[in-house]
Structure 1
């Protein structure tokens, strides 16, 4: 028996493998993927053409020495090479691990440190990098002394000879690191297949998927933005994040000219559209085919969604297409979501009495509309009921399940919960094991739907109440005191005193007193409030562009944050 025949029979093929990369065996000649090129044009490959390129990539990777069971880091921008190398690895039984690009973490020493931390956990025999990133990848993995060979994307001219094997580990997905250094999540083939089924049954893309720009090294971009549509072989389009930022109007126009039905992005994506697109830019466009617009990954601002719906409304957009959702990397991605063709609900949970294990004061329940709400921090947007196979509970500080309307930690259980962390610490096992996940997020259930408030680790207790920095930040943005793009809020205890800190990379000027007044409305005189103006690039970001609040707070406590004096 040849080595390739042995590799092919090493694992038994399962329905999970068929769901993830069965499209390679029966690719479509009619439908395909479009890739945005650097000159602004688009390249389209049918799924048959893409499958041939993918199998050619698999053959080249096998020739280079990649074997079933190997974990291979990918440092590739979104495009044809990413798709073919990712699936080429899966097709030969290896496991891709998608790493951030230098631009995602502002490059420099911070990126190099993260790259070294990740590769030190993997100890890869091979890595695949775009030629423009080859040197930085090769230099940093070489320091580990493991002899990692850095490959450029390549393709053998005999795709029919590509070995086939059926691995059990689909992706080693590194978390974005908002609470510390990134950790590798073992996403099994069963985890990924289950979550893809949940997403596809919920969003139901028919014929056309999305024009996705989300970073593919993040779970929302990889699973929700790319794999959910590609594995169904619907017509789909792929841009890179920087292309979306440079040409937001061109991106939204793709939806207005072509019947793409899905859209998926975090709150800052909707904010970008609102800042870059004017009503006159939408003349002649039709958004009536857009039926599933998912908002997730960070606290949902109801005012932003209302303004987005109002902008597109005159051109056929239906507010019922808005589908707020909750998910996280440890759940593979999706956990809950507002059902399709249902109007998302909001509840006003007013007052500052937010203690874990106590019932919230819900005074109003309304439907999300095109009219922005006042005091957005008092409104919680429904993230919908649990998707198929997921179970969600709310726990108090002792881990006891709580009834509806009570604030607590969000707990998730089900077959799409990740297999576990690579090289886990005891606290990692306590958080995530056997399909059970203690998320560290705070929220409550109402009428079977989940409402997410914020991260427990980023909140601070004041007079026994949990004050969430997400609440404060929403109100600061709504009041015009800060811009979310240049500022963030952190909190904790310093010298025994609760402290709320606004870190901003732009001077607040005459808005400083307004910012302090907003903080005081949450804390009274029971906490210290401070605004720190720092140089650009000081606020550390995760690979998904969220602030790393914990790292920022620790820098503040250590006295490492230096205030600028040019305000």
Structure 2
């Protein structure tokens, strides 16, 4: 093994060999109490897990799916596999995909790519996992989390991959990404340096089968042995205010979640809930994984500012699974900037009409859909360019595809096609996301594949959806916006699981303010559950559009 590889492995799993007796990880229990294990205790459990997994026949290089909720068993099985040179692949839990046939189909698709000998699943999920993989003929054995009665017998080995990470499926079927130990170590170093992790980390609730939850939520803190805490997503949903209160009672310094997490906290938390709490210790509040709404961040600041929160702690970021996680981020002690750019002037490869640049404050900006939130500068060692439709780099202020190079760009996809290899490989990534650079900072506009061209201009569904939500016409929890071409006509479609009633005309007017008369605008009221979701609860816009275009999306007639 090269010296570089040894250093990378040390950064990812070195804590097992020198675990702290003083610091540890707290795990939220169902009754609201917390179980705390020191890193010494977690390391012992992990090495016992590694020994037991080896006894079950797991060998270096084997890929082992994990279907486990956040908890001590997840930590011990994940790092137990890494300790013996095997590769964990963290899969969604049934509730993440509304269970049922859709969940089983996704498990089958993933298992067909991995063809594992062994899978580790929580006892509650073993039956559905067994049923899902049985017909593949892989003879996969599904076991509960395993721990031997000895820790010194774990056959230590250094594997090539840190995780086989499956994308959430927002652009179609989940794709398996080969995240090497070198990729993971590089991204963890970037994140830890950027966020300034020292003694305390986060109270993370993000799902661990998602890159933001696994890398940013868990591994970023655990691998440097900061005081950390884990909740399950459903615990956060039930008690968002209780989650926030943990930061007001304990000196945790960082939090990381997408826009909808902030919205959930704001919907459930009233100012009086925060009496007696102190948020002055928060130094890194990261927002990412989806379009960042400046109005939501402003409301979050206004809620916490009377209790010591400093706006300089806000650190919007951009990242994606193909980059392991983090690509860019607003630096510490910098107030995020907002740029107002006209949505009707967005032609790829042409300079944007930037009206004004301001700093984010506690007062929401008017017309938030016209403002882009800075996602900061590239992480150390990362290069970001903006490309036009011909693949040529563009100057600042020009809209185009976000292109990334760096040591944390994933090795590639499992079973990669030539098209896949053109998109991702050799440390280079064509993201499929649109954005622009200004003063060295990245502003992310939306997904190119979810946009539609109207009279040569690119209209992003994220812009339309943001204005519809801001106007109150739709709720993100029950509706989404898709777009494409039908019978040669550009079409923008709002799909809603709740009837819009008197807001219907307003919704259509908002769409036409982006498209003019050159596109068809439509609203479809569908049954609950008709909007397909990714494992990270984002709408699968492309699958929804294809269902509509094929005539398979059925409209409800009742209101």
Residue 10 of structure 1, CA deviation: 13
Contact 2:203 2:243 in 1 (8 A): yes
Which residue is 2:81 aligned to?
Answer: 89
Contact 1:11 1:165 in 2 (8 A): no
Structure 2 distance, partners of 1:312, 1:351, is 32
The one of 110, 133, 146 aligned to 1:141: 133
Structure 1 distance, partners of 2:217, 2:205, is 8
Which residue is 1:164 aligned to?
Answer: 156
Q: 1:488 to 1:326 in 2, by over 3 A?
A: same
Residue 12 of structure 1, CA deviation: 9.7
Structure 2 distance, partners of 1:369, 1:90, is 44
Residue 355 of structure 1, CA deviation: 0.2
Residue 149 of structure 1, CA deviation: 0.7
Moved more, 86-95 or 425-434: 425-434
Residue 142 of structure 1, CA deviation: 1.1
Matched, 1:525 2:517: yes
Structure 2 distance, partners of 1:11, 1:139, is 44
Which residue is 2:500 aligned to?
Answer: 508
Residue 40 of structure 1, CA deviation: 1.2
Matched, 1:214 2:203: no
Which residue is 1:354 aligned to?
Answer: 346
Measured against aligned partners, the alpha-carbon deviations of 1:450-483 in whole angstroms (never above 9, x if no partner) come to: 0000000000000000000000000000000000
Which residue is 1:443 aligned to?
Answer: 435
Q: 1:441 to 1:321 in 2, by over 3 A?
A: same
The one of 100, 113, 118 aligned to 2:105: 113
Contact 1:462 1:498 in 2 (8 A): yes
The alignment of Structure 1 onto Structure 2 pairs a total of residues equal to 559
Which residue is 1:555 aligned to?
Answer: 547
Which residue is 2:487 aligned to?
Answer: 495
Q: Aligned to 1:164, what secondary structure does the other structure show? A: coil
Structure 1 distance, partners of 2:57, 2:223, is 27
Consecutive unaligned residues of structure 2, counting only runs of 5 or more, are none
Consecutive unaligned residues of structure 1, counting only runs of 5 or more, are 1-8
Which residue is 1:336 aligned to?
Answer: 328
Structure 2 distance, partners of 1:540, 1:369, is 35
The one of 93, 99, 106 aligned to 2:91: 99
The one of 11, 21, 27 aligned to 1:29: 21
Contact 1:56 1:162 in 2 (8 A): yes
Q: List structure 1 runs of 4+ shifted beyond 3 angstroms.
A: 9-13
Q: Aligned to 1:14, what secondary structure does the other structure show? A: helix
Contact 1:10 1:166 in 2 (8 A): no
Residue 350 of structure 1, CA deviation: 1.9
Structure 1 distance, partners of 2:81, 2:273, is 42
Q: 1:458 to 1:12 in 2, by over 3 A?
A: closer
Measured against aligned partners, the alpha-carbon deviations of 1:247-297 in whole angstroms (never above 9, x if no partner) come to: 111101100000100000000000000101111100000000011000000
Structure 1 distance, partners of 2:388, 2:279, is 43
Which residue is 1:275 aligned to?
Answer: 267
Structure 2 distance, partners of 1:445, 1:48, is 45
Structure 1 distance, partners of 2:385, 2:148, is 50
Contact 2:170 2:533 in 1 (8 A): yes
Aligned 1:208-247 pairs, distance under 5 A: 208-247=200-239
Structure 2 distance, partners of 1:40, 1:551, is 38
| TM norm structure 1 | 0.98
Contact 2:343 2:459 in 1 (8 A): no
Residue 120 of structure 1, CA deviation: 0.2
Residue 533 of structure 1, CA deviation: 0.5
Q: 1:305 to 1:59 in 2, by over 3 A?
A: same
Q: Aligned to 1:161, what secondary structure does the other structure show? A: coil
Residue 79 of structure 1, CA deviation: 0.6
